[in-house]
Chain A
Amino acid sequence: NAGVTQTPKFRVLKTGQSMTLLCAQDMNHEYMYWYRQDPGMGLRLIHYSVGEGTTAKGEVPDGYNVSRLKKQNFLLGLESAAPSQTSVYFCASSYRVRDGYTFGSGTRLTVV
């Protein structure tokens, strides 16, 4: 049982480039989330999904898009990367809306 898997683990982008971060969970969880973690800011919710085919904006959605075409996958896209998007990105999932979350190990993204 792998839990939540994030790929890639590290990435360096140039300003203006695009990329997609993949999150996959094998626990049949309905709910999936994307957070970013910055020093002194804690974790901030970017987008989330309450089920296959649904997405919703979180606290800091600007500059990101998401898709949940399959229940087990939640993709986070950066269309035109900016240095302000340098961060560590975490995906999480939960079975029910008020359960504890299972987190992936993170993607460290640097935009230069």
Chain B
Amino acid sequence: SQQGEEDPQALSIQEGENATMNCSYKTSINNLQWYRQNSGRGLVHLILIRSNEREKHSGRLRVTLDTSKKSSSLLITASRAADTASYFCATDVTNQGAQKLVFGQGTRLTINP
């Protein structure tokens, strides 16, 4: 089963509204990262939150991490049409001595004008 699972799988909101996406994971992590992927493009790194951090901000992005619940959320405030994309959480885990970044299946976000 997936280490990181995003919820919801798809989200459609009006421009100007806030968008919240959630990520749950199963094993302990070193850090958790969020990426954006526009249609037909590669992934772009948005923000990284370390396991000892609880909240982080970057522009209109706010990420929270609750290691006791093994969950994270990504909030995009005042959404814009350009925010339409898929968003992936990725957990940085150490497995058998090797560090790996494990991606969830993503949330497809649509911002309606």
Contact = CB atoms under 8 A, between A and B. Distances in A.
Bin chain B's interface residue count: 20 to 34
A106 B33 CA distance: 20
Interface stretch (B11-19, B40-48, B59-67): B40-48
B31 A103 contact: no
B41 A98 contact: no
A98 B99 contact: yes
Contacts, number: 49
Interface string B39-82: 01111110010000000000000000000000000000000000
A100 B41 contact: no
A45 B42 contact: no
A105 B41 CA distance: 5
Given A102-B45, A103-B43, A97 B99 contact: yes
Interface in A38-61: 40-45, 48, 56, 58
A45 B45 contact: no
Interface in A3-55: 4, 33, 35, 40-45, 48
